[in-house]
Structure 1
Amino acid sequence: MVTSVCLVLLSVSIYGPQYGWTDPRTTIFLVVGLILTVVFLYWESKAKEPILPLYLFKNHTFSLTSALGAVIGAGMFGAIVMLPLYFQVVKGYSATSAGLKLIPLMLGIVTTSIFSGKMISKHGHYKRYPIMGTAIMTVGILLMTRLQIDTPYWQISIYAIMVGAGLGLSMQTIVIALQNAVDFKDMGVATSSNTFFRSLGSVFGTAIFGSILTNRVGHYLASNFADLAKTDPKALDGFDMSQLGGITSSTAVLKTLPPVIQHTALEAFVSSFHVVFYAAAPITALGLLLALMLRETPLRTTQDYAAAREEAAGESLG
């Protein structure tokens, strides 16, 4: 399992974005990783004490929350990774400042996580929260397509709070739904599996969105500078067009460019971020559809947990 996951992650997060998705290293690592995954699943189906019991996937809630966790992971890291890049590249902030600018997003996560937890404890209903969360997160990501070079921070903060609020309503709630649906003996492996699928989704999401950003930046840089050459040829006097390649590999080059050229390059980055957010929105919208399919069952009580502990103690003594 470890080998298969590592090979797939190397292919998706390193070789694919760096060398291209058709590069032999990318395809070989991905194919071998997938083959080993199939071998692992076959091995697990025969094992007496499997690491990941495959019968869990017959549980509707486990399968659904695993998929939902992966979707939320992809959408979460799409926002968390791309927003700091926007702050660094477009706004010119340092890495530390860009990270601090994410505080509104974190506040959204913390606030709604606490709120949803208290409401679930009080009323016993949990299905509504991932539905609201994925819907709010989708709207927040779509609003991020409105970001421009001169967008004020307060406006960005509102969008970030919305995404964070959606994440806070969704992430822990699906864990509650999962733990409420599986047997007590499977609760540990089911919870850790959900975290694993969410992490896997975040890796794939980051790799996909990063590849989209890199591809679109190159496209928009070429397009924007071609338009600039037609509308204002004098603006490019003395500018070496070969520097465009340096912009995509090191954004520090932007600070050395003349104002008109710098603005044109920043517009290319902004347009590229728009494409990334447009790509992320359908993924979180898929999360909304999955949340709507979630089955709500009555929450277990303290007596249920006490009975399970007594049963486990009896089995160990027996």
Structure 2
Amino acid sequence: MTHRQILEALSGLLLVLFVAMISGTIVSVALPQIIGALNGSQSQYTWVVTASLLAATASTPIWGKLADLFDKKLLIQISIVIFMVSSLACGFAQNTGQLIAFRAVQGLGMGALQVLVQVVIGAMISPKERGRYNGYLGGVMAVATVAGPLLGGLIADTSWLGWRWCFFVAVPFTIAALALLHKTLHVSSVRARNVKIDYVGATLIAAGVSVLLIWITFVGNSFDWLSWQTAVMAGGGLAVLALATWVESRVSQPVVPLHVVRRRTPALAILASLAVGMAMFGGAVFLGQYFQIGRGYTPTESGLLTIPMMLGVLVSSAVSGNLVSKTGRVKPYIVSGSIVLTAGFLVLSTMDHDTSLWLIGGAMVLVGAGVGMSMQNLVLAIQNTVPLRELGAASGAITFFRSLGGTIGVSVLGAVLAQQVATDITRGLARAGVTGRAAAESAGSLNLEALREPFATVIRTAYGDATGHIFLISAGIAAVGVVATLFLPRITLRDSVDLQPAEGEKAPA
């Protein structure tokens, strides 16, 4: 394909990616207001995010496998429709239970778009040249992440719109993406015989992870760490995941290709992506809550305050992408990104309810730069090691584990935050002379406008001080990614779309 043909096809793909990313960033900054309006709790706040991440995680490998077997263009169009319909449903939700359920359906579409865009790009462009086009991907990701919080804040603060339009606004973008893809995207259709999709494995993986995340949500509050409930839920979740691993090793076409995961480069890249996903998703989700509840800023102001992180992603992804294409080397940028990400979280771990915004902004730039240098290049590293026929499965595997890391990170950090906040609120209200039922009821409320003093002040201080704890955990998780990237072999990106057969070997049909 010529450069112009690639750009024409990329126009629709990048708009699709923009739609998926902007939906998450729009909602993230408005989520404190949404949960407050629906009278939700901190646990429900976490599950609004976790539900979509979990659905995306469970479905991503299936979409990746389908991309190796069926028409990639049709699959992207189907995923856009799923995403559009679920976005409308989220906008009409009347309580947090409905919102969590509709977000899970939305996650199915998000998971598909995440992996299918990468699969199609991988089928069009060689790994070495792909670094150049990853700059376009990074630019779109940065614009979506910068514009999303600002747009979400403006929508939430505009009285004649309201938070429901944070979901409705995705509809015109999805319609435009469908029309543009229909005109510009032309990829060859591959229809394999004897198609077998491992639905059993995917179901077991989703069930096992779900049980563990539900246990993380309730342990320490509803029951003790050492209790029969912990034994049943934690033990049961691990047993289901062990069964899923056994199933994956026996089926002919597994959801997670173990033969790919066992190789050194994919295994280390997946471990690093798992850590980056846990740190990035887990930490970034709660920044909007910190600025609004912990510092008292409006949704629009919170969106503006997240710009430093997005600028870090924009600059680092564009610069590292061009350097990767020029040099053909990717490991130095992955290692550097992991180290910078860890440093950013370490600085954020020192913040409380009155920390200087300049210090927080500088730390957010480091976090964004680390994500921009590491995340997409880890996908590139694993795609470089597999033949074209396994591209969908490999891309699905690394996206799966990154989403899994994000899902676990949000749940774990959300549970830690909820427990720390509850303790600090109880202690703060006790110092203010408020105890008993009134203290218990106010501790679980995020609707600060409905609370009188001293409740609102105590809750704001508790959220501001507790957020630093979860960023310290994020830094520890990101450090695991640093170790994994250091053990990556030296990677030289190939010039061809497919692996070249070794001398004496016959090229695959």
Give me the TM-score of the superposition, normalised by structure 2. 0.54
Matched, 1:10 2:218: no
Structure-2 change in CA distance of 1:174 and 1:4 (3 Å)? same
CA contact (8 A) 1:65 1:174 kept: yes
Residue aligned with 2:349, SS: helix
For residue 245 of structure 1, what is the amino acid of its counterpart?
Answer: A
CA contact (8 A) 1:7 1:33 kept: yes
CA contact (8 A) 2:268 2:488 kept: yes
1:256 alignment partner, one of 451, 460, 463: 451
**Structure 2 counterpart of 1:305:** 498
**Structure 1 counterpart of 2:29:** none
Structure-2 change in CA distance of 1:215 and 1:181 (3 Å)? same
CA positional deviation for 1:139: 1.3
Structure-2 change in CA distance of 1:57 and 1:6 (3 Å)? closer
CA contact (8 A) 2:342 2:367 kept: yes
CA positional deviation for 1:197: 0.3
2:483 alignment partner, one of 289, 294, 301: 289
Tell me how far apart the structure 1 counterparts of residues 313 and 264 of structure 2 sit (CA, whole Å).
27
Tell me how far apart the structure 2 counterparts of residues 111 and 137 of structure 1 sit (CA, whole Å).
14
CA contact (8 A) 1:5 1:33 kept: no
Matched, 1:109 2:313: yes
Matched, 1:142 2:337: no
Structure-2 change in CA distance of 1:109 and 1:27 (3 Å)? farther
- Partner deviation per Cα, 1:265-303 (whole Å, 9 max, x = no partner): 43332331121111111111111111111111221013x
**Structure 1 counterpart of 2:302:** 98
Higher helix share: 1
Matched, 1:244 2:439: yes
Tell me how far apart the structure 2 counterparts of residues 94 and 196 of structure 1 sit (CA, whole Å).
34
Tell me how far apart the structure 1 counterparts of residues 374 and 259 of structure 2 sit (CA, whole Å).
25
- Partner deviation per Cα, 1:128-150 (whole Å, 9 max, x = no partner): 11211111111111111232323
Structure-2 change in CA distance of 1:42 and 1:188 (3 Å)? same
**Structure 1 counterpart of 2:275:** 71
Tell me how far apart the structure 1 counterparts of residues 234 and 203 of structure 2 sit (CA, whole Å).
11
**Structure 1 counterpart of 2:424:** 220
**Structure 2 counterpart of 1:232:** none
Structure-2 change in CA distance of 1:210 and 1:90 (3 Å)? same
For residue 72 of structure 1, what is the amino acid of its counterpart?
Answer: V
The runs of at least 4 consecutive aligned structure 1 residues that moved more than 6 Å come to 23-26
Residue aligned with 1:301, SS: coil
Tell me how far apart the structure 2 counterparts of residues 60 and 292 of structure 1 sit (CA, whole Å).
12
Structure-2 change in CA distance of 1:10 and 1:138 (3 Å)? same
1:140-219 mapped onto 2 (5 Å cutoff): 140-219=344-423
CA contact (8 A) 1:11 1:25 kept: no
CA positional deviation for 1:262: 4.8
Residue aligned with 2:285, SS: helix
Where do 5+ consecutive residues of structure 1 fail to align? 229-234
For residue 250 of structure 1, what is the amino acid of its counterpart?
Answer: S
**Structure 1 counterpart of 2:473:** 279
CA contact (8 A) 1:120 1:126 kept: yes
For residue 89 of structure 1, what is the amino acid of its counterpart?
Answer: I
CA contact (8 A) 1:16 1:26 kept: no
For residue 405 of structure 2, what is the amino acid of its counterpart?
Answer: G
Tell which deviates more after alignment, 48-57 or 187-196.
48-57
Residue aligned with 1:282, SS: helix
CA positional deviation for 1:100: 4.8
Structure-2 change in CA distance of 1:243 and 1:101 (3 Å)? farther
Structure-2 change in CA distance of 1:286 and 1:225 (3 Å)? same
Residue aligned with 1:146, SS: coil
Structure-2 change in CA distance of 1:247 and 1:158 (3 Å)? farther
Tell me how far apart the structure 2 counterparts of residues 51 and 208 of structure 1 sit (CA, whole Å).
25
**Bigger radius of gyration:** 1
Tell me how far apart the structure 2 counterparts of residues 86 and 285 of structure 1 sit (CA, whole Å).
23
Tell me how far apart the structure 2 counterparts of residues 95 and 134 of structure 1 sit (CA, whole Å).
30
CA contact (8 A) 1:247 1:254 kept: no
Structure-2 change in CA distance of 1:90 and 1:183 (3 Å)? same
Where do 5+ consecutive residues of structure 2 fail to align? 1-200
For residue 203 of structure 1, what is the amino acid of its counterpart?
Answer: T
For residue 137 of structure 1, what is the amino acid of its counterpart?
Answer: L
CA contact (8 A) 1:10 1:29 kept: no
Tell me how far apart the structure 2 counterparts of residues 295 and 20 of structure 1 sit (CA, whole Å).
45
CA contact (8 A) 2:345 2:363 kept: yes
CA positional deviation for 1:255: 6.9
CA contact (8 A) 1:7 1:32 kept: no
CA contact (8 A) 1:246 1:253 kept: no
RMSD: 2.8
Tell me how far apart the structure 1 counterparts of residues 231 and 204 of structure 2 sit (CA, whole Å).
14
- Partner deviation per Cα, 1:161-210 (whole Å, 9 max, x = no partner): 11111111110111111112233432221111000000001111111101
Structure-2 change in CA distance of 1:314 and 1:170 (3 Å)? closer
Residue aligned with 2:333, SS: helix
